[in-house]
Amino acid sequence: MINKNTLKSIDLADNKLVILNQTKLPHEEEYIKTDDFNRIAMAIERLEVRGAPAIGIAAAYAVALGFKGKTSKDYELFTKIYERLYVTRPTAVNLFWALNEMRNKYDSINDGDIFNELLKKAKIIHQDDIKKCEAIGKNGQELFKKKSAVLTHCNTGALATGGSGTALSIIVKAFKNNLIEIVYVDETRPLFQGSRLTAFELEKAEIPFKIITDSTAAFLMKNGKIDVVITGADRIARNGDAANKIGTYNLAVNCNYHNVPFYIAAPSSTFDKNCENGNAIKIEERSSKEIIELNSIKITKENYEVFSPSFDITPAGLITGIVTEEKIYKPPFYFG
């Protein structure tokens, strides 16, 4: 099982995927242990595992586990697994990147120990993300010139990745370097990934933080309380337009108005070089229940119409820089 003293969203144990069920956090640490690719797909859909890099890693393991005990290639089975996972979440490009990596690996192997060959590739994808998270955290230290108050949105730590996180990896390393005074955490409606997950991670890291409503950010900026905003991203287009959790665009607009630097932190696997700009990014729409209900308690009438996009697009012109494992990219952006 996952070592509960070391926060991980996913791990492998006894050739089964162990998933920390994020829908139960922060009140309960429940673990799902499975080698069923369909159950892993459901975990992605239900947000039991979430965050672009973590979704990609979980999908890679699901492909491998689908071939447990198989010694000969079965393209019908591979297609079934691939297509089931492909439709789980439409916006985060890491999912499709990881699935294509696994497809390329499958195509390259011969009959034999197919499961272990695929599992080896999934482990490489996982380890690669761990290294990228560490490098993002290190590169992100350049953002700080003094001890700072940081605002972040949604969740970008170990719960969202295979390693230490993206934006939160930067924040944790900065705190260790005595560069963080306080972290303001957007609650991140409607599923509260900020108040449930980011706060949970900051508490474990013993970093001072305050939870705020999403609509409080502009007020803090107006009063000079925010030095820098750092978020993650689920897909970045060639021109630098970035899809991230709904509410990120609001932050970028407010940062631009109040002259607060706005940074995105993401691994290179988040770049979609086939996507020219943000207009080409498909935005996932979630169930109306996520707005109408809170912990199964109805907070408004269920017959009311709801519009619930899970992500929005921040135009490249509002982004101060994009922190990757390679370097910090500055505008004008072009990822060809």
Q: Is 312 a catalytic residue?
A: no
Instruction: Return the HEC string of the chain.
Output: CCCCCCCCCEEEECCEEEEECCCCCCCCCCEEEECCHHHHHHHHHCCCCCCHHHHHHHHHHHHHHCCCCCCCCCHHHHHHHHHHHHCCCCCCHHHHHHHHHHHHHHHHCCCCCHHHHHHHHHHHHHHHHHHHHHHHHHHHHHHCCCCEEEEECCCCCHHHCCCCCCHHHHHHHHHHCCCEEEEEEECCCCCCHHHHHHHHHHHHHCCCEEEECHHHHHHHHHCCCCCEEEECCCEEECCCCEEEECCHHHHHHHHHHHCCCEEEECCHHHEECCCCCHHHCCCCECCCHHHHEECCEECCCCCCCCCCECEEEECHHHCCEEECCCCEECCCCCCC
Q: Which of 128, 129, 214, 234 is catalytic?
A: 234
Q: Looking up tokens 């429940």, which residue turns up?
A: 30
Q: What are phi and psi of 292, to 5 degrees?
A: -75, -30
Catalytically active residues, by annotation: 234
